[in-house]
Amino acid sequence: MKFCTVKQYFDDENNNNVTNGIATTVIPLPNKHLKIKANNKEMEQYEQELLRNVMPQELTKLILAANYLNFKEALDFFCRTVANAIQNKSVDYVRKFFGLESDFEPGEEEKLCKEFAWSFEGVDED
Amino acid sequence: MRELRPQPPKLRRRNIYLPYDIVLNILTRLPVKSLMRFRCVSKSWNSSITSPDFISTHLNNSIDSRGDGYVIHMPCVRDICSSSINTKRPVCTVALDRTLDTISEVRIPFHFPFGCAQIVGSCNGLLCFATSAYCIYLWNPSIRIFKRLPNTCLGQLRFATLGFAYHSENNDYKVVRISRSPFSAPVSSHEIEVYTLSSDSWRSVGMTLTTDVLFYDKNYPLPIPLVNGALHWMSCIVEEENHRRRMIMAFDVNSEKFKRLALPDGSTDENIFQTFLSSFKGKLAFITWARSEQRGTQYSIWVMKEYGVVESWIKLFAVPFERVAHCTAFMEYGSLLVCYINDRVESQEFKFVLVDIETLHEKKDLDIQHHSYVATFMESLVLLDGANVVSY
């Protein structure tokens, strides 16, 4: 099933713009995933490798590709990887990462942050 | 906030925007501390994170991916939390369930005006604490939120016992309180009221229609177990010719009706010191502590393999002890936390030991060294969508 979608993906004319980077990372995934599905430790190591070699923004490309390919396991895996990458980051970092802006009324955001001040402790520096 | 639409794989030069459903996929995998902080990212993130659907999905994700289990325990010694003079609030400890090794300490954020604190129960990371049935709190330590329950809707509280349950049909939480008339009263009667979190109110579900129930056992120090959507109390009923029989009264949290379950055949006789109800790997467990045929005493653990089928009771484990061993807690995965009393020493010394009921392996030198209430624990966002909650 997964290989059919991959073939269709390449045949589809709309995908001419996809860079090689994605093709080389996502395509080998079905094999790797099948091989290491049973072994959590290896998945963790692969995740660490991914985080080291791939910039967080690149991960979003991988997510989109996995989403388009309807490759649920890869999508969940990349989402988990992104979650681990951002979990200790600041609010500003996360906004930049997802391309968001604050839409709170003035003072509203401050009030909220104060209420959960404890959740801001030990956050990574930007 | 910019509109996030599903993007085809065509790449943009700068930022690539993820569809909102994928953003939520990522968010549901984050720890609660991160999520509380990311509420400040934008209005829609704040709204999503505090929605009941998100809270449920996040809970299910963390249950699936969780490796170790945790417990939270609190000493049940009176000294620690009595009187207004002593302003020190009791401390709870979060520990690994397999070893009881301490992970962290958590101070109880609310003040108990009377008596001693009790952990009533724990569901999905939400804890229910009470003292003397007068003051009841729901508390989620992982997101630092608590809520005090309103006062009883009944006239007078007498000798009450409490149970805490998750109502899965409605994704809601309930506290059940059963109050009993004193023993001196000519006829034993019970009043039952139920608190529902979604309505934030108590409701009387009437007295038990049958006056043959003498009492509902508190199960001290174990919590009233929630199994198969029902809270289970050990009780004693009076049959013809004043004959008394022990029986399990199961309160179905959805229908709010009692069902009677018989105890295993041959499980009750005069040699029994104590009985408890608990849950073992999701099934109802009946634990007896009795004199052993050999030297010493023995804990017998019966499990109801098929819920509701009395014939399916089976005695799965027997844990013998040469010395007197008081049961402090029973762990869901299969361990007994017992207390040996060293009565050779003048000042009575307690020694707590965790015993695996299958292998009988004992773990000594535990971090826990007081009689305690022990409840399961996990991180969750539950209660975040409740009314009148206090964050600290």
CATH of A1-87 among 3.30.70.250, 3.30.710.10, 3.90.950.20, 3.30.1300.10: 3.30.710.10
Q: What is the pLDDT of residues A37-68, one digit of tens each?
A: 445 666 677 777 777 777 767 778 888 888 88
Whether residue A17 and residue B7 make contact (CB cut-off 8 A), yes or no, is: no
* Listed range (A16-30, A63-77, B124-138) with the worst mean pLDDT: A16-30
Whether residue A119 and residue B41 make contact (CB cut-off 8 A), yes or no, is: no
Model pLDDT, residue A48: 74
CA neighbor of B201 nearest in space, from B165, B135, B150, B131: B150
- Global pTM value: 0.85
For B171, the token pair is 């994704």
Q: Which of residues 23-42 of B touch A (CB under 8 A)?
A: 23, 25-27, 29-31, 33-34, 36-42
Model pLDDT, residue B80: 47
Distance separating alpha carbons of residues B235 and B216, to the nearest angstrom: 5
Model pLDDT, residue B37: 96
Model pLDDT, residue B265: 86
Report domain extents, chain A: 1-87, 88-126
Mean pLDDT by 10 residues, chain B (392 residues): 49 64 94 96 95 94 81 74 49 92 92 73 95 82 94 71 95 92 69 92 75 85 96 91 89 94 84 93 95 88 96 95 91 94 65 94 90 93 88 92
Model pLDDT, residue A39: 56
Model pLDDT, residue B146: 95
Model pLDDT, residue A16: 41
Whether residue B18 and residue A63 make contact (CB cut-off 8 A), yes or no, is: yes
Whether residue A113 and residue B144 make contact (CB cut-off 8 A), yes or no, is: no
Helix, strand, or coil (residue A20)? helix
Whether residue A112 and residue B40 make contact (CB cut-off 8 A), yes or no, is: yes
Instruction: Categorize the per-residue pLDDT at A18 as very low, low, confident or very high, splitting at 50, 70 and 90.
Output: very low
Model pLDDT, residue B359: 95
Model pLDDT, residue A13: 34
- For the beta carbon of residue B342, count every other beta carbon within 10 angstroms: 11
Model pLDDT, residue B83: 42
Distance separating alpha carbons of residues B142 and B94, to the nearest angstrom: 11
Whether residue A113 and residue B40 make contact (CB cut-off 8 A), yes or no, is: yes
- Counting DSSP H helices and E strands in chain A, the numbers are 8, 0
CA neighbor of A94 nearest in space, from B337, B31, B38, B8: B38
For B369, the token pair is 């060294």
- Give the H or E element holding residue B36: helix B32-38
- For the beta carbon of residue B243, count every other beta carbon within 10 angstroms: 8
Q: Collect all residues from A whose CB is shorter than 8 A from any CB in B.
A: 14-15, 17-19, 22, 57, 60-61, 63-65, 67-68, 75-76, 79-80, 82-83, 86-88, 91, 94-95, 98-104, 109, 112-113, 115-116, 118-120, 123
Model pLDDT, residue B75: 84
Whether residue A100 and residue B34 make contact (CB cut-off 8 A), yes or no, is: no
3-state secondary structure B167-198: EHHHCEEEEEEEEECCCCCCCCCEEEEEEECC
Model pLDDT, residue B4: 54
Model pLDDT, residue A7: 47
ipTM (interface pTM): 0.78
Distance separating alpha carbons of residues B214 and B244, to the nearest angstrom: 9
Q: What is the pLDDT of residues B124-140, one digit of tens each?
A: 999 999 876 578 999 99
3-state secondary structure B201-231: EEEEEEECCCCCEEEECCCCCCCCCEECCEE
Size of interface A-B (CB pairs under 8 A): 103
Closest Cβ–Cβ partner in A57, A82, A100 for B41: A100
B7 and chain A in contact, CB less than 8 A? yes
Distance separating alpha carbons of residues B146 and B50, to the nearest angstrom: 15
Model pLDDT, residue A64: 85
Q: Is the pLDDT of residue A29 over 90?
A: no
Sheet with B70-75: strands ordered across: B102-107, B91-96, B70-75, B372-377
Closest Cβ–Cβ partner in B22, B40, B45 for A79: B22
Instruction: Categorize the per-residue pLDDT at A26 as very low, low, confident or very high, splitting at 50, 70 and 90.
Output: low
- B372-377 and B190-196: which strand pairing? unpaired
* Residues of chain A contacting residue B23, judged by C-beta atoms under 8 Å apart: 98
Whether residue A57 and residue B33 make contact (CB cut-off 8 A), yes or no, is: no
Greatest alpha-carbon span in chain B? 88
